[in-house]
Amino acid sequence: MEQRAAIKFCFKLKKTPSETLELLQAAYGNECLSRSKVFEWYARFKAGRESLADDPREGRPSTSTTDANIERVRVAVASNPRATVKMLAAELHISEGSVHTILTEKLGKSKICAKFVPRFLTPEQNIRRVEASETLIEMADSTQIFWIKLSQVTNHGVFSTILQPNDSRWSGGVAAMRGRPKFAR
């Protein structure tokens, strides 16, 4: 709005659109309106426009991303972090797009493992994470039981990545692990 007033002022002083743009760039730097917008507003004032306000727009105004709806989504996610966008939209009677916008842009959440979580940790969460890591390091340094338990977990079941001779994939050697040979047609 302020830059529009400056454009109108330059128009009244009989400056050209290019001179107006140069003055705005000198005054506002990176925050200056684009060249096309400066020229567009200059042309509007030249055509007799007096108002600096935007023209009314057609279409339905955005009503779903109100503060009340943002709070409703925040409460719903806090009570059920595994809720999907579709479930939240049905429960709160808001469109799925609006729910997704509220979650990602307004609340700063992203979906990880089917659960909405904050994108960034709070300072308190960072402190707790560091404390937990320090505790684990102390446990690892003070006792060998930690490493024994860790090796039992990582060498068990689905975590095992080393094939043993009694493994069903081992019989037949390397050829059995490669699968069916491919032939050229």
Judge whether 23 and 10 are in contact, CB under 8 Å. Answer: yes
What's the pTM? 0.36
Please name the residues in contact with 138: beta carbons below 8 A apart, sequence gap of 6 or more: none
- Nearest alpha carbon to residue 74 among 113, 118, 120, 114: 118
Residue ranges making up the domain that contains 11: 2-46
- Cα 86 to chain centroid distance, Å, stands at 18
CATH of the domain at 105: 1.10.10
114 and 130 part of one domain: no
Q: What pLDDT was estimated at residue 150?
A: 65
114 and 129 part of one domain: no
Q: What's the pLDDT band for 125 if we cut at 50, 70, 90?
A: confident
104 and 136 part of one domain: no
36 and 8 part of one domain: yes
Residue in this structure with the two tokens 């940790």, named with its chain if needed: 121
Q: 109 is written with which tokens?
A: 């959440």
71 and 114 part of one domain: yes
- Asked if residue 166 is part of any domain, the answer here is no
Domain boundary among 56, 90, 118: 118
- Asked if residue 162 is part of any domain, the answer here is no
The whole-angstrom separation of Cα 39 and Cα 44 is 9
Quote the number of domains for the chain.
Answer: 3
71 and 33 part of one domain: no
Q: What pLDDT was estimated at residue 159?
A: 44
- Nearest alpha carbon to residue 5 among 25, 20, 22, 16: 20
Q: What's the pLDDT band for 58 if we cut at 50, 70, 90?
A: confident
109 and 128 part of one domain: no
Strand partners, 116: 111
Q: What share of the chain is helix, strand, coil (3-state, %, to 5)?
A: 60, 5, 35
For 52-77, what is the mean pLDDT? 82
- Asked if residue 32 is part of any domain, the answer here is yes
- Asked if residue 165 is part of any domain, the answer here is no
102 and 73 part of one domain: yes
- Asked if residue 61 is part of any domain, the answer here is no
72 and 101 part of one domain: yes
101 and 80 part of one domain: yes
- Which 3 state secondary structure label does DSSP give 1? coil
For 86-108, what is the mean pLDDT? 89
101 and 143 part of one domain: no
